[in-house]
Structure 1
Amino acid sequence: MPAALPRPAALIFDLDGTLVDTAPDLARATNELRQHHTLPALDYDVIRAEVSHGGSALVTLALGHELDHPEHASERTRLLEFYARDVAAHSVLFPGYDALIEICQRAGLPWGIVTNKPRQFAEPLIAALELTPGCLLCADDLPVKKPHPEPLWEAARCLGVDASECWYLGDHGRDMQAARAAGMLAVAVRYGYVREGDDVDAWPADVWFDTSEEVINAALRAADLR
Structure 2
Amino acid sequence: MLDKPKGVLFDLDGTLLDTARDLGNALNWVLQQHKMPSCAFSVYRNIASDGSQGLLEIGFGDRLADYDVESLKALFLERYEKEICVDTVSFNGIKELLARLDKDNIPWGIVTNKPQWLTELLLPHFDEFAQCQVVISGDTLEKRKPHPLPLIHAANAMNIDPADCWYIGDAKRDIDAAKAANMFSVVANYGYIGPEHRSDSWNADLYIDQPQAILAHL
**Shorter-chain TM band:** over 0.9
CA distance in 2, matches of 1:103, 1:143: 33
Which residue of 1 is the match for residue 212 of structure 2? 213
4+ runs deviating over 3 angstroms: 65-70
CA distance in 2, matches of 1:66, 1:159: 45
Is 2:211 aligned against 1:222?
no
Change (3 A) 1:164 1:69: farther
Q: Residue 58 of structure 1: which of 55, 60, 65 is its match?
A: 55
Which residue of 2 is the match for residue 15 of structure 1? 12
CA distance in 1, matches of 2:64, 2:124: 32
Question: Partner letter of residue 32 of structure 1?
Answer: W
Aligned sequence identity (%): 36
Which residue of 1 is the match for residue 114 of structure 2? 117
Note if contact 1:180-1:204 (Cα within 8 Å) is conserved in structure 2: no
Q: SS in structure 2 opposite 1:177?
A: helix
Matches within 5 A, 1:103-142: 103-130=100-127, 131-132=129-130, 133-142=132-141
Structure 1, unpaired ranges of 5+: none
The farther-off stretch of 174-183 and 124-133 is 124-133
CA distance in 2, matches of 1:173, 1:69: 30
Change (3 A) 1:69 1:110: farther
Note if contact 2:93-2:210 (Cα within 8 Å) is conserved in structure 1: no
Question: Partner letter of residue 52 of structure 1?
Answer: S
The farther-off stretch of 42-51 and 195-204 is 195-204
Which residue of 2 is the match for residue 83 of structure 1? 80
Q: SS in structure 2 opposite 1:83?
A: helix
Matches within 5 A, 1:61-210: 61-64=58-61, 71-130=68-127, 131-132=129-130, 133-210=132-209
Structure 2, unpaired ranges of 5+: none
Give the helix-richer structure, 1 or 2: 2
How many positions carry a matched residue from both structures?
216
1:39 deviates by 2.1
Q: SS in structure 2 opposite 1:64?
A: helix
| Alpha-carbon displacement from aligned partner over 1:30-81 (angstroms, at most 9, x marks no partner) | 1111111122221111011111111111111222368876501110111111
Question: Partner letter of residue 13 of structure 2?
Answer: D
CA distance in 1, matches of 2:34, 2:166: 43
| Alpha-carbon displacement from aligned partner over 1:119-148 (angstroms, at most 9, x marks no partner) | 111111111112221100000100000000
CA distance in 1, matches of 2:152, 2:64: 30
CA distance in 1, matches of 2:162, 2:4: 13
Q: SS in structure 2 opposite 1:30?
A: helix
Q: CA RMSD in A?
A: 1.6
Question: Partner letter of residue 171 of structure 1?
Answer: D
Q: SS in structure 1 opposite 2:196?
A: coil
